[in-house]
Structure 1
Amino acid sequence: MREEIELERLRISPFWPIARPLPWPTAGQLARAQETGLIEPVTARPLAGASAVDHEILAGLKNWLLAQRLGARTVPVLIRDVTDTVARSWVEADAGDPKRDPIAIARAIGERVERGASVAAAGREFGLSRTDAAHRLRLLRLAPDVMERVASGELAPGTARALVGLTGIEQRALAARIVREKLTSRQAEVLAKRLKSVSTAPDAPLEDPVAAPAPKDPDQVRLERQLTDLLGTGVTLRYPSAGAGQLVIEFADLDILDGVLERLGWVDVG
């Protein structure tokens, strides 16, 4: 069904990605619309129980904004009564699929967490596990220009996470080197760890990390390696006294801890 609806009766969907700027018309678009007098339709769904504002925009948000700039009173609207799932998919498509932008999705998750949602619940809205959602949130601790590299696809999110905890200057220098030399995530982690522990220039020669000396007991070495492979992080067995000991699981940050907990079967039900 198509209707002419007053602009003030329409609202931006809450599914519109927080990190996405509104598509206000350019000067050229505004000039063309003024010349032709044509405004393309907006797709919207009715809001149950609403009063003054009774329709939610699902697609064609730019047309509604254009109508505002033109001073129009109404805009043509294609009315579709759809579920939240369908509505979300239409809005995300209209916004340009924010899931392709890790920074956009990180900001959206962060906004939901600020409103009281758990990281797990916020991540589920975007099809992410708690660990993946936590990984995305870490990207928000990057310097703004480094985040731009991630958003543009120039720097992979997994590689960029290694830069968290460095100063802004160190992040920029190391990010530039990662892109320039096409370093792997592991190489980036080695350099970032070196920068965090000592004052080393990001352009210092990249060397493989030196392996820690293995315990003398070959059975203990084998078991530690198996546990390390299983949990995805360093594991050490200690025997301070006969018949007793300790199983030490190492983690450099909370993201690694989240991964260990997932492998152990722990589930956040929050």
Structure 2
Amino acid sequence: MKQILILATFTTFTLQLFGQDNCFENSTGLYWPLEIGSELKHKYGSDSKVSAISGDSIEFNGKYYLVEVETYKSGKTKESYWREENGAIFNYNKEKGVESMELPASPELGTKWTSTDNTWTYEIVSLTSTYSTPFCEFANLLEVKTESSERKGTVYNLFYKQGVGLVGLNVNGTPYSYILPNKKLNEQNFMAFGCENAGSEKEIQSCTYSKIFEHIKANYKAPKKMKKGKILVNVIIGKDGYVDDVKIVQTIPNAQKQEEEAIRVIKSLPQFRPAQVDDGQPIRASVTVPFSF
């Protein structure tokens, strides 16, 4: 019997609608407003951060920039330097000693530009994009695709809302960062039934993932001809706890049968207790499952 190894490494992102009063729906103005005293919170990979513009300014080459301080939950901090000129947003790279445009004054579909040091390229790919977070369903967003010659093979898609700024970031098509409401939230990930008493939140999560592994190993029907490599499957767990959507995000060349079987077996997963926020309101959640052959 051909064997399939399911790697015990998951990447999770919670998604979808919650409390629209936290969604800046009445905001207007620039896609990247530089407002003294502003403070935005973001989930950022496995970390989170608070970005604040205190009102401090600094001069470089005769131009003055507002100082943005990013404070991460993990303890690190980072300073960035920004200025606005006739609606366009500019960033100063202190290490390289150069200024580059971050956003043009009047964004238009198809507009392209390059950083001053020629390492980053930018393109406006949409003015009407949508983006889902655990708390909001954003619409009519400015979407910018950017790539760096120093990070070949990585594509970043940034989503901006007028009057707010950056609300979401995808890396190679997968959600990586999203804006958080300015209030404390209590989130719980989705959970497999039978894991309720596994212990800590980490132990409950481990129990849930183990049950997913067990289901796949018991139900995956390996094709006669198998290609070696890894397939990554992104799975959306709906607010009812059932698998809502399945998408291949990384694959093996000419391994269509393995892809199809991975999708089939994921769709056959049993119901979970859905992810929740605050008062127990269910939200959608997503998990990326790696199949290694």
How would you bin the TM-score normalised by the shorter chain? under 0.3
Q: Which has the higher contact order (CA 8 A, sep 6+)?
A: 2
